[in-house]
Amino acid sequence: MRVGILVLSDKGSRGERKDLSGELLRGMCEEAGFSVEVFKILPDEKDEIVQTLKNWCDELKLDLILTSGGTGLHPRDVTPDATKEVIEKEVPGIAEYIRFVSFSSTPMAALSRAIAGIRKETLIVNLPGSPKAIKEIMPSLVKVLKHGVEKLKGDDSECGGG
């Protein structure tokens, strides 16, 4: 599976903070057998995020894009807004599942505005910017992501597993 990781952080993009969540996410993707084709850190600027997501879907034709950060209530948190502008279909169950997993650690998961959706044949998933959250979410999300991408690519086998 060809993956892009997009980290959204004003401070990270300026080199004022070391990116921990994106690097952790990269390692976890590689451990899961995903090929991380592109990795980028951008500021919380909606237009830049939209342009990057479109390019990675339309030009690079990635299977999966994982974003990290910018999903909360802060005025600069625009990742879900940019994602909504790019996707053609929403996949609400993925975002619901991520919040469900996060609730076991913090009630603050209720403040997440993260979404997931599809553009052409690319699945885009917003993740929190916290390394702790990435560690909690990714182990159980990997199977969902693999199956989702298989379905997106046309796999017509049964989902229920018998």
Express each pLDDT in 83-100 by its tens digit: 999 999 999 999 999 999
- In this prediction, residue 158 carries a pLDDT of 75
- In this prediction, residue 15 carries a pLDDT of 86
- In this prediction, residue 161 carries a pLDDT of 58
Q: According to CATH, what is the number of the domain 2-151?
A: 3.40.980.10
Strand order in the sheet with 122-127: 35-42, 2-8, 64-68, 122-127, 116-119, 89-90
Of the CA atoms within 13 Å of residue 118, those in its CB half-sphere come to 13
**55 Cβ contact list (under 8 Å, min separation 6):** none
**C-alpha angle 48-52-56 in degrees, rounded to nearest 5:** 175
Q: What is the mean pLDDT of the chain?
A: 95
- In this prediction, residue 8 carries a pLDDT of 97
d(CA 89, CA 96): 15
Query: What are the residue boundaries of the structural domains of the chain, listed by start?
Result: 2-151
C-alpha dihedral (139, 103, 82, 33), degrees to nearest 10: 0
d(CA 88, CA 120): 7
d(CA 42, CA 62): 18
- In this prediction, residue 19 carries a pLDDT of 84
Q: Are 95 and 84 in contact (CB under 8 A)?
A: no
> pLDDT under 50 in the chain at which residues?
162
Q: Are 44 and 8 in contact (CB under 8 A)?
A: yes
- In this prediction, residue 156 carries a pLDDT of 83
Give the pTM: 0.95
